[in-house]
C-alpha cells in the first residue's frame, strides 16, 4: 500500500513529538535580568509565566520542572522582580516574569516592574506562548485582561491556569474552572502545587506548543 505524503509527515511529527515528550524537562537557571538588553538572544523560543504578584508563578515553574527551589518562592508578594530565564532541554526558555498588581510597593517600583514586563512583551519576537495564572480565590483584574488582549492581538497562544486549587473543596473546583472559562473565553487548567493537580496537563500543553513551533 502506498504511503501518502500526509501520512509520512504525520508520522515524522509524531516521532518528533515523542522525542521531546519522552524526556523530562532538564532545566538550567540562566540568569535574572533587570534590563532587556541583558537577556539571552539566541533565537530559541520563549514561554513566559505571568500573573499577579503572589499568584504562584515561581511555585508552578518549580512544580513542572520537578525541582523544589530553582525559582524563588516567597509568601511575601513581589519576590520576583526581574526576568528570570530557565533553559529547558537546551531547546527553549521559560521566562518567570515579575508579578503585577502588588499595591504595597512604591509607585516607582511598580512603574519599574511594569516597564520591564512591557518592554519584554514588546521586544521579544522569540515569545511563542504564555502561561497566565489566576488565583482561584480572586477575580481577574484589569491587568489580566490587558495582557490577554495584547496576546490575542498578536495571536500568541495562552495557557490559562487557575492556581492554588487545594484551597477549594473538591465540589467547587469544576465550578471555578467553568466560571473562569466563561469569563475569559479560554480553556483553563486547574492547578495545585500541593496536590499535583494539573501538572501533567500543563506539561502536555507546553510540549504541544513547542512541538508545533518546531514543526512550523
Ligand atoms: N496552598 C497553595 N499555596 C501555593 C500554591 N502555589 C503557590 N503557593 C504559595 O503562594 C505564595 C506565592 O508563591 P510564588 O510562587 O512565590 O508566587 P509568584 O507568583 O511567583 O509571586 P511573585 O514572584 O511575588 O510575583 C507562596 O507562599 C507559595 O507557597 C498552591 O498551589 N497552593
Ligand atoms: Mg515569583
Written as nine digits, the cell of 185 is 473565553
3-state secondary structure 46-71: EEEEEEECCCCHHHHHHHHHCCCCCC
Half-sphere exposure of 129 (CA within 13 A, CB side): 19
Query: Model pTM?
Result: 0.87
Overall residue count recorded for the chain in this entry: 216
What spacing in Å lies between the alpha carbon of 135 and ligand 1's midpoint?
A: 9
Q: Which residues of the chain are modeled with pLDDT < 50?
A: 1-12, 15-22
pLDDT of residue 98: 86
The per-residue pLDDT for range 33-65, each reduced to its tens digit, is: 998 999 999 999 999 999 998 999 999 999 999
Residue (of 85, 86, 78, 33) closest to 52 by Cα position: 78
For atom 9 of ligand 1, which residue has the closest CA? 56
Relative to the alpha carbon of 84, which ligand is closest? 2
Judge contact between 62 and 73, C-beta under 8 A: yes
Provide residues with CB under 6 Å of ligand 1: 53-59, 73-75, 77-80, 99, 163-164, 166-167, 192-194
Strands (E), the chain: 27-33, 46-51, 83-88, 92-96, 127-135, 158-163, 188-190
**Hey, whose CA ends up nearest to atom 1 of ligand 1?**
164
- Quote the ligand 1 centre to 73 CA distance (angstroms): 6
- Domains of the chain in sequence order: 5-13+24-214 (3.40.50.300)
Amino acid at each position: 500500500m502506498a504511503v501518502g505524503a500526509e501520512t509520512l509527515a504525520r508520522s515524522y511529527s509524531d516521532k518528533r513529538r515523542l522525542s521531546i515528550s519522552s524526556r523530562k524537562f532538564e532545566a538550567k537557571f540562566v540568569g535574572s535580568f533587570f534590563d532587556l538588553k541583558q537577556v539571552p538572544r539566541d533565537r530559541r523560543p520563549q514561554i513566559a509565566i505571568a500573573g499577579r504578584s503572589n499568584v504562584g508563578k515561581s511555585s508552578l515553574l518549580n512544580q513542572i520542572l520537578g525541582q523544589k527551589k530553582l525559582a524563588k518562592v516567597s509568601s511575601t508578594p513581589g519576590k520576583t522582580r526581574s526576568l528570570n530565564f530557565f533553559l529547558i532541554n537546551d531547546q527553549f526558555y521559560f521566562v518567570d516574569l515579575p508579578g503585577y498588581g502588588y499595591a504595597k510597593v512604591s509607585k516607582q517600583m511598580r512603574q519599574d516592574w511594569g516597564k520591564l514586563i512591557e518592554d519584554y512583551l514588546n521586544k521579544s519576537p522569540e515569545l511563542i506562548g504564555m502561561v497566565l495564572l489566576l488565583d482561584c480565590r480572586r477575580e481577574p483584574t484589569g491587568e489580566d485582561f490587558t495582557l490577554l488582549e495584547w496576546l490575542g492581538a498578536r495571536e500568541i497562544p495562552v495557557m490559562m491556569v487557575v492556581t492554588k486549587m487545594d484551597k477549594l473543596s473538591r465540589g467547587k473546583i469544576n465550578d471555578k474552572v467553568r466560571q473562569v472559562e466563561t469569563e475569559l473565553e479560554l480553556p483553563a487548567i486547574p492547578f495545585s502545587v500541593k496536590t499535583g493537580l494539573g501538572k501533567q496537563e500543563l506539561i502536555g500543553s507546553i510540549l504541544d506548543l513547542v512541538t508545533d513551533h518546531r514543526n512550523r
